[in-house]
Amino acid sequence: MLMHPRTIAGLLSVLSRTILSFQAWADPMVLFSVNDLGGGVFQYNLTVDNQAGSEPLSGLLVLNGGSVFGLDASSVIGAPQAVNGNASVNWGFIAPFLPLPNFPGNILSYFTIDPAGDIPVNASLGGFFFQSTENPANLSINDFAVIGIGASTAGEIPLGNAQLVPEPSSVFLSAFGIAASACLVGLRRLLRRRAARR
């Protein structure tokens, strides 16, 4: 036996909590994934995660939509449709129209005017997307800054920078690395004990 069963159980518990509950962070946030569409075009897929938020959200602002992502009225942009299975509850958007940093015309604005489309506290909503020639590998700090709009107060709620969702394969590899490290530690301890007995 390489490791004590309680040690293995503890490591597996920590590992499962880390992997399975990585979204259980305290603040609301925006998660994104990217699809390479070829020809230098990337589709950014966003999910607003309002875990532990202070109020439902009825809007999302991508602050650098024009200046960083090159979005304008001709861009391919999409918003959630038929929210909660209701065909009449949709989100809309206003594309950036003037790509100047720190200027309101630089913002990609998503919104819903129907309270049934709000993102409740402790819930999430996907279906936000846009296509851009900006390679995600070139994004730097604050390029993907986002703000939520509170449904109750209409106030701005800073959400920080959108967070890239790791691919399932990288999560699996991280878990495998942690498990392998734990096994090596157990093997070293076993070998030390055997060497001490001799």
**Segment 165-184, tens digit of pLDDT:** 975 544 444 555 555 555 55
The 3-state DSSP class for residue 19 equals: helix
Query: Looking at residue 181, what is its pLDDT?
Result: 56
Query: Bridge partners of 38?
Result: 41
Query: Looking at residue 52, what is its pLDDT?
Result: 83
Query: Looking at residue 23, what is its pLDDT?
Result: 42
The 3-state DSSP class for residue 7 equals: helix
Tally Cβ neighbours within 10 Å of residue 151. 20
Query: Looking at residue 104, what is its pLDDT?
Result: 80
List the one residue out of 193, 176, 102, 178 whose CA is nearest residue 142: 102
At residue 85, does pLDDT exceed 50?
yes
Q: Are 143 and 51 in contact (CB under 8 A)?
A: no
Q: What tens digit of pLDDT does each residue of 37-81 get?
A: 999 999 999 999 999 899 999 999 999 999 999 999 999 999 999
Position 10, amino acid: G
Query: Residue written as tokens 């997307």?
Result: 129
Q: How far apart are CA 100 and CA 62, in angstroms?
A: 13
Higher-confidence position of 74 and 27: 74
Q: Are 31 and 49 in contact (CB under 8 A)?
A: yes
At residue 188, does pLDDT exceed 80?
no
Read off the pLDDT band of 1 (50, 70, 90): very low
Q: What tens digit of pLDDT does each residue of 89-139 get?
A: 999 999 999 878 778 889 999 999 999 999 999 999 999 999 999 999 999
List the one residue out of 22, 28, 41 whose CA is nearest residue 146: 28
Over pLDDT 70: what percentage of the chain?
A: 73
Q: Specify the CATH number of the domain 26-165.
A: 2.60.40.290
Query: Looking at residue 180, what is its pLDDT?
Result: 54
Tokens (6 digits) for 188: 């070293």
Q: How far apart are CA 189 and CA 18, in angstroms?
A: 25
Query: Looking at residue 8, what is its pLDDT?
Result: 56
Which residue ranges make up each domain of the chain?
26-165
